[in-house]
Amino acid sequence: MKHIRYTAFVSTAALALWCGSTLSAEQLRYDSARDWRQWELPLGAVDLTALGVIQPTRIERLTDAVRDLDAFDGGIRNAGSNLNLARFAIDGDPATGWAPDPEAEAENWFLEVNLGRAVSAHSVTLVFDEAAAPFELFDLLISTGEPETDVIAAPIEGSLVYRTKERFKENTRHRVTYEIAEIDAEPLQFIRFEPLLLVPDARLVEVEVETIGDNIALGLLERGGAVDVNTNLAQIDQQPLGKARALFDGDLYLGWRAGSAGRGLNDILSHMVLDLGAVYWVDQIRVIGGVVEKSFFGGAITSRHIVSRRRWGFRFYELMTSDGSLSPDGSRLWTKHFSGEAPVHQRSKGLVDHHFDLQPTRYMRIFWKFWDTSCFSFQSLGVRGGSFKVPGCSAGGATDEIQIFGEGFPQQVSFRSPLIDLGEGKNLNSIEWGGEQPPGTLIEIRTRTGNEVTEILTYHDKNGKEVTERKYNKLIPSFKGPIDTTRVAGGDWSAWSRIYSFSGEAFLSPSPRRFMEIDVRMTSDSPDRAPTLDYLAANFTDPLASRVQAE
């Protein structure tokens, strides 16, 4: 990292982008959507309305994955005919719909929907137009996103394998629901509807996919969260961010893999930690070890083989959560929900669910033995054939996806202003804010001030792993990643003030100063309620010396 220090004499114009609101003679105010967008808002943990109101985002159960597929770049994957009408089957309007062109070849009577991310679903529902007879004979196909492979087991771009297929015959219903009773049919990302017999004026008007609920792990980086994967805690063998993203990217095919552990006489301990970016009410964590077949030879594999070859990457492991509280020694306090080996009937299916009472959660941690000396494995004798028993066995923790579920408003969500340039320095007099605070909720405001800022350059390799400037400069161009520039408070800044007791309280940080930063925390003691923030303002006057000089 490279540090460049700026003093109070830095041009105000150079820092203008840091100030999210117009600086008036007496007040710096944030009360519109345009103003708030200059802040580091954890969108996804909070919503910003068109009127400029900030409110925590509610996590829902039993959601319809079709209703928000646009947020995940989902939509119509393909339609064999009448592609221009296909969107009407997922637009939420029962008055519009899709049907294949009767003049098209029967092989082109299909519609495919991409949910944009993998979901754990309870059911898929097809809704047909009530104004006409429904489709009588049709197939419903479901896919995890698995591609077809060529003769050398490489994925074929643009291809898709549907492992689950259900045929409906002699249908007379306008609402047909396929219940996903077997875990082998989930998770899913793609749905294909194939009418096999056309019915006059029949249309598919809606597709619905009922899921467990909102997956809190999705988008955690964008709302200020983080991930830490370390495959050898004794040596701090941290995995690059680019690789670790596969744990929560919504893509079941691009899973996380660490390779094989080196043999030794001691256990190799590892962990993966997800920081959700806010404190949510959580009661279920689903760890998906492997549900998408990754073939090592050409040709198709039967569904029976798929189930028997689903993967689970852990032997002994522990799963725990934390709301971020620290012990007296500064270490994070964890609540352990599981310790041991997953039940055979679960890990044989490639995914394991952990259920517990609803509780505040910001961090999820899986701790496991990458190399376990308490067991034995078998090593091949090579060309001589056979194998022999050796002490120790490896468990690489291979994971396709981690899904986290809960309900209600976050217990706690925080965000900060940019570094606000006040010009030549102002006498900050008070802080005020407005909004709704139902019983059990709080809006907590803190401030700090200073005269200097520091620019930090952070270097990354092509995999997103942070490296030193020296190492970065030695990389060939194709191995270099982005250089991020961050402006942070300099060495003369004050500590964060205590929490302001009420709106309009006298300013608590040193003043006059050139720069100011504001921290906001919204809390609730129940998942059923949350505060809202309508506006925030800092009141100020010019320093006395400036006023005397002007007079």
What are the boundaries of each domain within the chain?
2-58+412-452+490-550, 69-211, 226-406
Cis amide leading into 187 (omega within 30): yes
pLDDT (tens digit, 9 = 90+) per residue, 432-483? Answer: 999 999 999 999 999 999 999 888 888 988 887 788 888 889 898 888 999 9
Mean pLDDT of the 111-134 span: 97
2-58+412-452+490-550 shares its CATH topology with 69-211: yes
Q: What is the model's pLDDT at position 7?
A: 34
pLDDT at position 303 over 80: no
Q: What is the model's pLDDT at position 15?
A: 36
Mean pLDDT of the 140-162 span: 89
Mean pLDDT of the 189-206 span: 97
Strand partners, 179: 123
Distance CA 252, CA 246 (A): 8
Q: What is the model's pLDDT at position 45?
A: 96
pLDDT at position 286 over 80: yes
DSSP 8-state class, residue 88:
G
Query: Residue 445: what residue type?
Result: I
Cα distance between the two ends of the chain: 47
Q: What is the model's pLDDT at position 16?
A: 36
Q: What is the model's pLDDT at position 380?
A: 64
Q: What is the model's pLDDT at position 294?
A: 66
Mean pLDDT of the 315-326 span: 96
Take residue 514 and report the two structure tokens written for it: 């050139």
* Banded pLDDT at 300 (limits 50, 70, 90): very low
Beta strands in 161-248 (DSSP E): 164-168, 175-179, 188-195, 204-211, 226-230
Q: H/E element holding 124?
A: strand 121-128
Mean pLDDT of the 224-230 span: 93
Alpha-carbon separation of residue 318 from 41, 196, 239, 274, 321 (angstroms): 33, 49, 19, 14, 10
Which architecture does CATH list for 2-58+412-452+490-550? Sandwich (2.60)
Sheet containing 188-195, strands listed edge to edge, beginning at the edge strand earlier in sequence: 75-79, 111-119, 188-195, 138-143, 164-168
Q: Report phi then psi at 416, rounded to 5.
A: -130, 155
* Banded pLDDT at 551 (limits 50, 70, 90): very low
User: By percentage, how much of the chain surpasses pLDDT 90?
Assistant: 63
Mean pLDDT of the 293-322 span: 69
Q: What is the model's pLDDT at position 438?
A: 97
Which architecture does CATH list for 69-211? Sandwich (2.60)
Report strand pairing: 466-467 vs 453-461.
antiparallel
pLDDT (tens digit, 9 = 90+) per residue, 67-82? Answer: 999 999 999 999 999 9
Q: What is the model's pLDDT at position 9?
A: 34
**pTM attached to this predicted model:** 0.86
Residue appearing with tokens 């999210």: 20
pLDDT (tens digit, 9 = 90+) per residue, 495-518? Answer: 999 999 999 999 999 999 999 999
pLDDT at position 181 over 80: no
3-state helix, strand, coil in the chain (%, to 5): 10, 45, 45
Task: Count the helices and strands in the chain (H runs, E runs).
Answer: 6, 28
The SS3 call for residue 531 is coil
* Banded pLDDT at 18 (limits 50, 70, 90): very low
User: By percentage, how much of the chain surpasses pLDDT 70?
Assistant: 87
* Banded pLDDT at 13 (limits 50, 70, 90): very low
pLDDT at position 20 over 80: no
pLDDT (tens digit, 9 = 90+) per residue, 237-276? Answer: 677 777 899 999 999 988 898 876 667 788 889 999 999 9
Q: Looking at the domain covering 226-406, what would its CATH class be?
A: mainly beta
Pick the closest to residue 424 from 18, 8, 23 (CA basis). 8
pLDDT (tens digit, 9 = 90+) per residue, 347-386? Answer: 888 889 999 999 999 999 999 999 888 887 766 666 666 6
Distance CA 293, CA 288 (A): 13
Mean pLDDT computed over every residue of the chain: 87
Mean pLDDT of the 209-233 span: 94
- Is residue 285 within 8 Å of residue 346, measured between CB atoms? no
Alpha-carbon separation of residue 368 from 272, 309, 431 (angstroms): 9, 22, 48
Distance CA 461, CA 465 (A): 6
